[in-house]
Structure 1
Amino acid sequence: MTAAHKVKTRPILPRCMQVIERGWLSCNSIVFQEDRHAVMIDSGYGNEAAETLALLDRAILGKPLTRLLNTHCHSDHIGGNAALQKKYRVHTTVPIGEAPIIERWDDEELLLTYADQAAQRFAVDATLAPGDVVRLGNLDWQVLAAPGHDHHALIFFSPDERIVITGDALWENDFGVVFPALRGD
């Protein structure tokens, strides 16, 4: 094969990123390996917290989990937050518009009532807003607004890697469920 015919390949995701795939209606989680610790985006359903902890333990390879970020605060994305805070004392960041909803623990806004889900209360340590930039896996990620599925949903975009983490704004071959009609908005 000549040099002109050689094909360069690269992994779909950077080495610092891993997706923990879950079943239908439970969110997938993203784990970032950093130099001395790990970071997670979205924690899954509360009734799957034990499974989330086991999958995460395998993914982080003995590193401490220090941060947890949520794309939005529906039950399938925040249900494991309390368990992660208890086990890892993780610093938890939510979209800025979701912090008051978490503070008053609004079962309807969190889709706990609608989805017949349970989640334990958790502490919010910080918030993210559209326009922020976060460092995850030694990469810079732009924080962008993605209202529709949730009024306050955020997505994360890495311009260098051309990767977007969408939460539920986009699904495979489709877009996510738009909830304003369910809430009467």
Structure 2
Amino acid sequence: MTAPETVPGTVIAQHSRPHDATAAVRQNLLACWTAVVNAGGAVVPMGCPLPPVTPAALRPAVERITRELSPDHSRLLVATVDGALAGWLLLRREAHPLAAHCGVLNHVQTDVRFRGRGVGAAMMRHARSVARDEMGLERLQLAVRSGLGLEEFYRKAGWTEVGRWPGALRVAPGDDRDEILMSLTL
């Protein structure tokens, strides 16, 4: 099976300061995140109820993410297709000095209307380049929920599974999932 081509018209923008994330950007993030969570996506933030969620429930997380943007420590990558938000992710440098050469990807998501069309793969390639070439990072890490096939998506993008926490995530009573830890050398 060959990888899908990226949707024509895809543009990936980078926001590295709080003022870069305008009210329109934040509103688009909320709409995307709400749709992704309610479609079963594994991007429910801490302090947020399990699905179904409303934009109001996710607003504090979006405000925190955008407030903490910084060129050296936290960048928001937003993919659009013909002006419509198609996906986004957060790229952060580890805060502890012993791990400052490493970064973390959080909230990786593709709007449900654009899934399977190469947007996620394009965002992963762009995040890798930004992390290495602009932030000077040497390694990235992320955690994914088992049972959704996400680990295969990341493997195809060059990531390696480095560990699992069996049953660490309880999606519903009787539905425990592994948290899969993945790493990418830049």
Q: Same fold by TM (over 0.5)?
A: no
Kindly indicate whether structure 1 or structure 2 has the higher relative contact order, using CA contacts under 8 Å at least 6 residues apart: 2
The structure with more strand, counted as a fraction of residues: 2
TM band (smaller chain): 0.3 to 0.5
Taking structure 1 as the reference length, the TM-score comes to 0.36
Larger Rg: 1
The structure with more helix, counted as a fraction of residues: 2
